[in-house]
Structures are given as C-alpha cells and as structure tokens.
Amino acid sequence: MKPRDLTDLALRNLREAILRNVLTTLGVAVGVASLVAMLSLGVGLQQLASKRLSQSGLFDTIFVTPKNTFRGMGRPQREVESDKPPRPLDEDARKEFEKLPNVIEVYPQVRFFTEVRFNKKPYATVVAGLPDSSRNSGAFDGMQGRFFSSPSADEAILQIEFAKDLSEKPASLLGQEVTLRYAERQAIPSAGGDSSNSASSEAPEGFSVVPKELKLKIIGVVETEPAAGYGGYGNARLLMPLQTASTLRAAQVNDLRDIVRGSTGTKLTFPSLSVRASSPSKVEALEASIKAMGFNAFSLLDASKSLRTFFSVFDLLLGIFGSLALAVATLGIVNTLVMAILERRREIGVLKALGAADRDVQQLFFVEAGVMGLLGGILGVLFGWALGRAITFGTNAYLKRQALNPIELSSVPWWLIVAGIIFAVLVSLAAGLYPASRAARLNPVDALRYE
Amino acid sequence: MTGQQPAILLEHISRHYSMGETSVRAVDDVSLSVPPGEFLALLGSSGSGKSTLLNLVAGLDRPTSGAIFANGQNLATFSSFELARYRRDTIGMIFQSFNLLPRMTLEENVELPLRLAEVHRGERASRVRVALERVRLAHRVGHRPTELSGGEQQRVAIARALVNRPQILLADEPTGNLDSATGEAILTLLRDLREQMAMTVVMVTHERPLAERFADRLATMGDGKLLGVAASAKGALP
C-alpha cells in the first residue's frame, strides 16, 4: 500500500477505538512528559549552575600575569631576573588582549590591603576594585542598596561581615561615609599597609610612603564578593569601582618589581589582568594565544570540564528515571494493539482475502503505533514543559516566601522537544513490533471463520 | 472449453488438519478442471470440505499435497507475498456474511482492493463508480453497510470483488444469508457479470435447486472427497 493510504487506514482504525487509543496515547504522553520534565530540570539546573559560575567569572576568565612573576596562583614572589627582560603587563598588553577574538573585557586586578576608618575607628581590610561588568553578576541580585552609580563613582559596597563589624545594623550604613586610607605610589613607592604577603622585607631601602585618604559613600551591602578570583589576599571586604580604585595608584605588590627593574614611574604595570572570554568554550584557545604572546595565563577550564561531566551523568540518571514511565506506556501500546488484533481479526482476514500481503498488515499496525507515539510525544512534550513550569513556579513561590530571588529551574531547549518526540515515536514503533508481526502472521482462513 | 488451458486445475489435492492426536482430512485427493468462463457450483453438506477447497483455490490456504494451477501457474511455487498478489490481481471473493468493513462507506469498501493494488487515486473514483453501477448501487456510495439490506450488502461485496477485474470469482455461500428471492437476484447478477466480464466463477452452495438453475456444472463433495461432477439442468440444455 502507498504511505498515504496506509496512514489513512491507520488513522481510521485509531478513530474506531477512540477511547482506548486516546488513553494509550495519553499513557505515552505521560511517559514522555515525565522524561521531558526530568531532563528539563536537569538542563535547567545545569544552565543555572553554569550561569552562576560564568557570572562568578571563574570559568570564562583567564588570569594573566607577567611571565617571571607567576608562581603559585599569582601570589607575589621573589624577583627572578632573567637574561631577556619579560614583557611587561602594561597598558599596551592590555590593549592587545582586548583585540583578541572572543574577548569581552580585560581588566586589572586592583586589590590591596589597607585601613578603613569609620566613626574614627580603624579597620584593616582588603579593598578590591570591581569591573563594571560585575553589575550583571548574580552576586548582586539580592544585595541591599544598589550597585555603583558609575564606573568612577566614589562609592563603596561592603561585604556583609565587614558591614556587621562596622555597625550592628548593616542596613543603617547605607548613605554613610567611610574613609579609605592608602599609600599612593609616587616616585619610589612601597607596598602600603601591613600585608603579610607584601614583599617589603625584600625591597631595597629608601621607601617613602605617601599616605592618602579618600572618602567613599556606602551604597550597598552584599553577601559575598563576586569573582574573588584566585590571586590576592582572599575575599575583599570593601568593594569599589575598578576605575576609581585604579586612579588611586595605590601601592601594590608588583610595584616592587618595577623598582627592581628601575622602570618606576615611567609606565604603570599590572600585577595581573583578567581577560573575560565570551563563553567558557572560548577560554582554551584564548589562553593559548595569550601564552603565545609571552605571558602566563591560567584558567579554571578543567574544573568546568568536570562540572560538565557531572551534569551529563546527572542528566543520564534523570533520563533513566523519566524513561520508566515511558516503559510502562510502551506496555500500554503493546496491550492496545494486541487487543486490536483480537478485535479486528475478521477485518485482517478480509484484507488478506482482498490481496493484502503480510507486509501490508504489518505496516498498518506499525503506522498505528507510530501515530500514537507521535501524538503522545507531542502531547508529552507539552505536558512536560507545563510540568517544568509548574515546578519552577512552585519553587519560586517558596523562594519568594524565603525572601530569595526567583530562579529558572527548568529549561526545555529545542533539542529536548525534538528528541522527546522522536524518542516517543521510536519507542512506540518498537512496542508495535510484536503486535504487527502477530497480526501479519494471522491465518486468513481462521480469521474469516471467526465469528 | 476444448483444448484450452483450464482456468483452475486441481491435481490430487488434499488438505489435512491435525486436531490433537487425530488428523482430519478436510479435502481428500480432489482432482478437478475448470475451464475459463465456466460457472461451477460446489455442492455438499456442511463439513464436506467445499469451503476448504475454495480457500485453497483462493490462495488463502495451501494444500497438504497435490497441485493447484490457476491459469497454468502452480500456486505451490508462489511465495506468501506472491500468493497475496495472486489474491489481489486474479481472484475476487464474496462471502456468506458479506465481510464488508462496517465503519467504511460503500465507496471506501469497494475502494479497498484498489488501495491494496496501489491504483492511482484519480483512477480509483471512476473504477469504484463503474463497479457500483454494475451492481446498481451507484446512488448509495456514501452509505454504510449497516444501512443496507442483506441483498444490497452482497451486491456491494460483489462490486468490491470485481473492482480489480479478476479472472476468477470465488463465492462462498453467497446466498446463505439471503431470502430466496434476493438470493436469486444475486445469482442472476453474478451470471450476468460473468458474461460481461468473461470471468470464471466457482460458487460454494448447499442449495442444489439454485445451483441447477445458474451454474454450468455441479461438483458434489462429501467427506472431503469429490463425489461427482455433472452438467447442471441448465448446462444440459443446448
């Protein structure tokens, strides 16, 4: 029979036992729905995690340091003089990085240990400059107050523990001023403050400290610092706009190297630069090209790879649980079609008497199974999507009660829609194998005698 | 009928069924030749094996031993697929219980063999109409079988059997479910169609008087054996 006639007859047969076939199709739909809902949760959680992680800057950021100072996660080390002077990590290098493909931004790490005065009391803390792009980081989603009004504002965001040190009511700090005391790098600057990691003990003699002060307005309080990175002195407790922090020319550890090299004051160099890639997948190539330019580069790519492995296994497990319902639905299809054979014995006999080959009968049952699979698949994807939405809605209602930010828990990407439908059809066809071959083997003489 | 290749040739046909320990000989060593264009009636009481013999000729069943030739072709050499093609292209069948598909309209029922034969859509409608016109039911194409009388249903079944223009029409008790007047009308129709379409007709029946009036020859069966073949009263006429 031609495909169109086959489909015609199959649809007609399906309509004849409409209730049973609808129930069977719904069974398939529920199976597919559970599979799609499970996988959409898996995908959603994965997206959520990787979104958070990419916002954290850990997986799409490459940390670049000058070649001969990079030892052990960018911590300042003893100067190592080499024959050929290493390329300085300066503004020129920064511009070159910015021109590389797939680079979103390049920013220096400004991070120094210093003293903050509030209500005439001194507090020692690490200060970090935040690039404007961290505005979109998830870390600021639930903050008190607001983000910096401009990239060069004299404003500060406090880490919550630090804020608690300053006042018992962190919220009351908003709008107040803190005084940042720091050592400005001048002709022969030194690392200011009393950083334990400072290389001051090894520095040449003749350091002069030029103390400076800057008043910062407290505009926000945040749980944790985003993109803490892996250099520096641990989490910063006072955050300020990167540009503001840079213009301070606060003495940083790399200045020591400049002194040793005698290039002090001529050119500003960075202890390290963070290069952000457009996506974690671009990090590897970018890292290689930065290395080729003569710098040390480091990223947490391997960590993101193992994260992906984890989620593949997680998805697989969810998929297996989701498939259980579909397996039950498969039995439903087998049952329905076997029942249909019993009911349509005579009809099969008539078809064979009229000249239908075994193959024609087999295909007819096959198409019926396939149609139930297709409809069940489409319905199932819809149900699954709705289920995912419902779970997300319920979760967000709960999160809202806990005063937390809503999240997108489930995600149904297009491949899941297509795969869900194709899977349903394939499973249904597999379920139709036995009934179809049984129908095809039916002896027409027996079938016609059957009353 | 002389010297021509027979439309149907049966050579020592047997069909045995095993029912538990015992073997039932439904058809036992039957040899018979049916020339093209003949109207043959197979007579016998129920259980005499006449329907089994008809199914063997129809290619719905295979003999335990012996050979069946249709238009000179040995059915034993056919694969099951070829046998299906033979049923589709060479054989037309009608049954006592009509065997129309109840949820299809007359048109769709008659169209079914054309679908199986993969006849082009455009051609089907006209062939269905011609077939229904032959049985004088063209005005009821859109009806369903249950809306028709028994005689009308059998006429639809005839139209369905003829739509693929078979050379051999096999009828299994076609009048068994009909009153005598209607049965007579059906047989008159069969006889006319046989002449119009130059078909060979083999009809299984147990109504000897009807067979005498419409068939050319009568073959009588009993206990699976062919008891005798004789010209009918009508056939004996010049």
Q: What is the C-alpha separation between A124 and A363, in angstroms, rounded?
A: 80
Q: What is the pLDDT of residue A108?
A: 80
The pLDDT of A29-54, averaged and rounded, is: 82
B160/A contact by beta carbon, under 8 A:
yes
The confidence band for A233, taking pLDDT boundaries of 50, 70 and 90, is very low
B103/A contact by beta carbon, under 8 A:
yes
What is the average pLDDT score of chain A?
78
Q: What is the pLDDT of residue B174?
A: 93
The confidence band for B8, taking pLDDT boundaries of 50, 70 and 90, is very high
Q: What is the C-alpha separation between B159 and B149, in angstroms, rounded?
A: 15
Residues of B in contact with A354 (CB under 8 A): 87-88, 93, 112-113, 116, 160
For A111, phi then psi, to 5°, come to: -155, 115
A358: closest CA of chain B, how far (Å): 7
Residues A182, A214 contacting (CB under 8 angstroms): yes
What is the average pLDDT score of chain B?
91
Tell me the residue type at A429: L
B56/A contact by beta carbon, under 8 A:
no
Of A349, A354, A358, the CB nearest to B80: A358
User: According to CATH, what is the number of the domain B1-90+166-231?
Assistant: 3.40.50.300
The pLDDT of B19-43, averaged and rounded, is: 91
Does A221 have pLDDT greater than 60? yes
Q: What is the C-alpha separation between A170 and A190, in angstroms, rounded?
A: 34
B80/A contact by beta carbon, under 8 A:
yes
Does A76 have pLDDT greater than 50? no
Residue with tokens 């071959």: A437
DSSP assignment of A237-275: SEEEEHHHHHHTTB--TTHHHHHHHT-TTTS-B-S-EEE
CA distances to A376, A383, A391 from A26, rounded to whole Å, are: 6, 10, 21
Asked if the Cβ–Cβ distance from B103 to A12 is below 8 Å, we say: yes
Does A75 have pLDDT greater than 50? no
Q: What is the C-alpha separation between A428 and A415, in angstroms, rounded?
A: 20
The pLDDT of A130-145, averaged and rounded, is: 72
B164/A contact by beta carbon, under 8 A:
yes
Asked if the Cβ–Cβ distance from A357 to B80 is below 8 Å, we say: yes
Of A347, A349, A355, the CB nearest to B88: A355
Q: Which residue is closest to B160 within chain A, CA to CA?
A: A354
Asked if the Cβ–Cβ distance from B81 to A358 is below 8 Å, we say: yes
pLDDT tens, residue by residue, A391-444 = 889 988 888 888 777 787 888 888 889 999 998 999 899 989 999 999 999 999
The pLDDT of A23-37, averaged and rounded, is: 89
Residue with tokens 């009391």: A121
Residues of A in contact with B47 (CB under 8 A): none
Asked if the Cβ–Cβ distance from A347 to B58 is below 8 Å, we say: no
Asked if the Cβ–Cβ distance from B81 to A359 is below 8 Å, we say: yes
Size of interface A-B (CB pairs under 8 A): 65
The confidence band for B236, taking pLDDT boundaries of 50, 70 and 90, is low
Is pLDDT larger for residue B222 or for residue A248?
A: B222
The confidence band for A203, taking pLDDT boundaries of 50, 70 and 90, is very low
The confidence band for A204, taking pLDDT boundaries of 50, 70 and 90, is very low
pLDDT tens, residue by residue, A250-297 = 766 555 555 565 554 455 677 778 888 887 778 888 888 888 888 888
The confidence band for A382, taking pLDDT boundaries of 50, 70 and 90, is very high
Nearest to B237, CA basis, from B210, B214, B206, B208: B214
Q: What is the pLDDT of residue A231?
A: 44
The confidence band for A135, taking pLDDT boundaries of 50, 70 and 90, is confident
CB under 8 Å to B30, separation ≥6 — which residues?
Answer: B10, B12, B13, B14, B49, B53, B66, B221, B224, B225, B226
Q: Which residues pair with B73 in a beta bridge?
A: B70
Domain limits, CATH 3.40.50.300, in chain B:
1-90+166-231
B84: closest CA of chain A, how far (Å): 5
